[in-house]
Amino acid sequence: MLDAENPFTRVALAGRRDSPELFGPLSVLADFLARRGHQVSIEAETAAIAPLAGYQRIAAEGLGINNDLVVVLGGDGTMLSYARRLAPFDVPLVGINQGRLGFLTDIPQAYMEVMLGDILDGHFVEEKRSMLTARVLRESGSTPTELQALNDIVVSRGSSGAVIDLSIAIDGQFAYSLRADGIIIATPTGSTAYALSAGGPIISPTLPVFVLVPVAPHALTHRPIIIPETASLTITVERGNDVSLHGDSQTQIPLLQGEQITITRSPHKAKLLHPSRYDYFSMLRQKLHWTETPERLRIGLDEPLL
């Protein structure tokens, strides 16, 4: 049950598990939350790297059951990992940026107490971000393998370097064949990640769409295609002996020639809480340095969003 006066009674802290700089800010945040009267727990593997006395450790599997809010310290990769885990439980996440750009972890570490305190006091912007579900249909007839992604699903060639041939169907209708290094299926959240570097568009997270972005296609006429998120996408590996399916660049499934992948909107959404003055396009201007002068660029990325 949530306390009506304090909807975030139980707050868990989780961090990037290979970060040697984690202990300091984790300790500061834990003490800050405890002073405010929150019940503080620390994800078990995070606590193993940054052991803090006096706080309950909780397994990653239990984060969505026993908490009202999870605060993540790290970069966007860390945020993606916890977002996938917590989406089925509708538990919100707040990101403290210890990475580089930080499209998802949008609170600078230097301002984390002030901005997190504002969120805990009820002053925040809530977003629910669409996710993807990919299912691999094996030719052997075995149980389909499934994975979830918040940023993107990628079908790509492996280390052999040989291009692959794919066929793409949308809602059961053949759309096109593709000879390329691979294809990215990105959510609006993932449109600023790998898809952007491959030439895809930036998509507002409020739009209910996905984008298909070819990776190094052999035909120059292949261009990104935006489809409604209600569509069902089927990708068949027509040729390729070293092909893999990736989810958020963190999970990988090998694929065989002839196998199919179906990609649909996930039944779950990731819930993100941002500072009260958060604005998506303001964030893009800051992270991507739009309209900035050279002298302004030297200031860096550590200022809070205005």
CA distance linking residue 263 with residue 113, whole number of Å: 39
CATH code assigned to 10-122+276-297: 3.40.50.10330
- Higher-scoring residue by pLDDT: 142, 237: 237
Residue 3 pLDDT level (bands cut at 50, 70, 90): very low
State residue 292's pLDDT score: 66
pLDDT in tens, 173-204: 999 999 999 999 999 999 999 999 999 999 99
Segment 270-295 mean pLDDT: 86
131-267 shares the fold of 10-122+276-297: no
Catalytic residue, candidates 18, 31, 68, 76: 76
- Catalytic-residue membership of 76: yes
Segment 45-74 mean pLDDT: 92
State residue 162's pLDDT score: 87
CA distance linking residue 138 with residue 262, whole number of Å: 11
Residue 210 pLDDT level (bands cut at 50, 70, 90): very high
Domain boundaries, the chain: 10-122+276-297, 131-267
Backbone angles phi, psi at 300, to 5 degrees: 100, -170
pLDDT in tens, 84-125: 999 999 999 999 998 777 899 989 999 999 999 999 999 999
CA distance linking residue 57 with residue 42, whole number of Å: 5
- Amino acid of residue 88: P
- Higher-scoring residue by pLDDT: 13, 7: 13
Residue 159 pLDDT level (bands cut at 50, 70, 90): confident
Chain centre to alpha carbon of residue 46: 19
Best CATH choice for the domain 131-267 from the list 2.60.200.30, 3.10.180.10, 3.40.50.970, 3.30.420.10: 2.60.200.30
Segment 263-291 mean pLDDT: 92
Segment 210-226 mean pLDDT: 95
